[in-house]
Amino acid sequence: MAASSSSSGGAITQFYNCVVLKDHQLVDDYLYMQDGKIIDPAKMFFDERRAPDVRIDCGGGIVAPGYIDVQINGAFGYDFSNDTDIIDEAVDNVSKGLLMQGCTAYCPTTVSSRPEVYKQVLDHLGPRAGSVERGAEVLGAHVEGPFISPQKKGAHELATLRTAESGLEAFDECYGLDRLRRNVAYVTMAPEVAGVLEAIPRLIEATGIRIAAGHSNATTAEATQALAGGASMITHLFNAMHPFHQRDPGVIGLLGASGTQRPFYGIICDGVHVHPHSVMIAYRAHPDGACLVTDAMAAQSLPNGIYKLGEMDVDVHDGNVYIQGTNTIAGAVITLAECVRNFARFTGASKVEALESATLHPAQMLGITDRKGVLAHGADADIIILDHELNVQRIFVAGREATRENVVYKNKL
Supply the residues annotated as catalytic.
295
How many Cβ atoms are within 10 Å of 405's Cβ, its own excluded?
Answer: 7
Residue among 412, 404, 328, 395 nearest 56 (CA):
395
Percent helix / strand / coil, the chain, rounded to 5:
30, 25, 45
Q: Which has the closest alpha carbon to 31: 59, 58, 4?
A: 58
Yes or no: say if 209 and 176 are a contact pair by the CB < 8 Å rule. no
| DSSP per residue, 326-352 | S--B--B---HHHHHHHHHHHH---HH
Closest CA to 189 of 243, 132, 128, 251: 251
Distance CA 91, CA 78 (A): 8
* Residue 34 parent element (H or E): strand 31-34
* Residue 242 near residue 272 (C-beta atoms within 8 A): no
Give which of 207, 185, 211 is closest to 122, Cα–Cα: 185
CA 148 to each of CA 201, 205, 265: distance values in angstroms, whole numbers, following the listed order = 17, 21, 17
17 and 63 in contact (C-beta within 8 Å)?
no
Cα 315 to Cα 300: distance, rounded to the nearest angstrom: 12
Q: What is the DSSP letter of 321?
A: E
- Is 4 exposed, middle or buried (CB count within 10 Å of its CB: 0-12, 13-18, 19+)? exposed
